[in-house]
Amino acid sequence: MTLPTRLLWMLTLAVLLPGCGDAPAPAPPPPTATAPASIEGTVHDEKGRPAYKSVVRIYRRFERGAVSKGADESGQSTAIAEFGAGKASLDGPDMQQLASAECDGQGRFKLADIPPGQVLLATGDVRLGVWRQWITLEPGSTQKLEIKLPGKK
């Protein structure tokens, strides 16, 4: 291979492989505002025992003006969410379930890849009581929660 041919190949590789050699590596892209969030924690009954197999669910309000199959003509929710052995109504605006996770033997759960924003976290059943709370998830964050179910009322 002649010298001009070698130089041509080296120039071609330099163009096709930027960032190789002595050039510094490109900076990683900045985190986006839509990075998913996660929630992890434990669920215990009123006596502090782990809530084994309790299901933790995440809900988000439907956008204003949208009506799902779980709403009547006025937009009021008619959906019933199942919580373990019993059922509990989700009152208020129509809700969309984003994710759910079952607690392990120590009452631990983890919900990942949740879009940031305001969500409703709910868990429990008729026997252990129902717990619900609105939380705000920041992009890329992990919220840690300790949930104590209220017991039968």
pTM to 2 decimals?
0.61
The distance of Cα 59 from the centroid of its chain, to the nearest Å, equals 10
pLDDT value of position 85: 39
Q: What is the pLDDT of residues 5-60, one digit of tens each?
A: 766 666 565 554 554 555 565 666 665 558 999 999 999 999 999 999 999 999 98
How far apart CA 139 and CA 33 sit, in angstroms, is: 6
Sorted by where each begins, the domain ranges of the chain are 30-148
Query: Rounded CA gap, 127 and 139, in Å?
Result: 35
Dump pLDDT digits (tens) for 94-152: 788 899 999 999 999 999 999 999 999 999 888 889 999 999 999 999 999 999 999 88
Characterize the bridge pairing of strands 95-102 and 55-61: antiparallel
> Is the separation of the CB atoms in 141 and 119 below 8 Å?
no
Find all residues with CB under 8 Å of 132, minimum gap 6, and list them: 120, 121, 122
For domain 30-148, give the fold: Immunoglobulin-like (2.60.40)
48-97 residue pLDDT tens: 999 999 999 999 887 655 444 444 445 444 444 443 334 444 544 578 88
Residues with Cβ within 8 Å of residue 103, at least 6 apart in sequence: 42, 43, 50, 51, 52, 53, 54, 55, 56, 109
